[in-house]
Amino acid sequence: MIVKEILLEENRPTWIEAKSILDIEIRNGKKSKVKCLVIVHGYGSSGVGGTLKGRTRSYLRDKLKNKEIKLVVYGEKFEMYDPDSRYLINTYPDLSYCYGGFNQGITIVEL
């Protein structure tokens, strides 16, 4: 399996629980054949984006900055006009189900 979907929002975890899930999934993914994660964090019910979405993306940006992961693309940017998105879809065709969907509730990570 090269692409794995993580339902981070399932069971409405706290940020601490979600962070733990992310760490485990990233660590396990690197040890296995998983090369890319589709993290489903949800958008939030407030209409401006939820806490889980914001904290997840901030946490992943830090991991990217520290070179712990290779690439992060937000679901709303995952479309043909974005070069990182084109790279991901060409490298991981299994991601086609979420390509071009302008989905603010997901983030794609290359490990």
Residue 109 has pLDDT above 70, yes or no: yes
Q: Average pLDDT of 32-51?
A: 80
Residue 13 has pLDDT above 70, yes or no: yes
pLDDT exceeding 90 applies to what percent of the chain?
78
Residue 102 to residue 69: CA distance in whole angstroms: 23
- pLDDT band at 46, cuts 50/70/90? low
pLDDT score, position 28:
96
Which residues are bridge partners to 106 per DSSP? 40
- pLDDT band at 50, cuts 50/70/90? low
- Tokens at 78, concatenated: 């995952």
Pair 41, 11: CB distance under 8 Å: no
Q: Average pLDDT of 21-41?
A: 96
Pair 96, 89: CB distance under 8 Å: yes
φ/ψ (deg, to 5) at 19: -60, -40
Q: Average pLDDT of 67-82?
A: 96
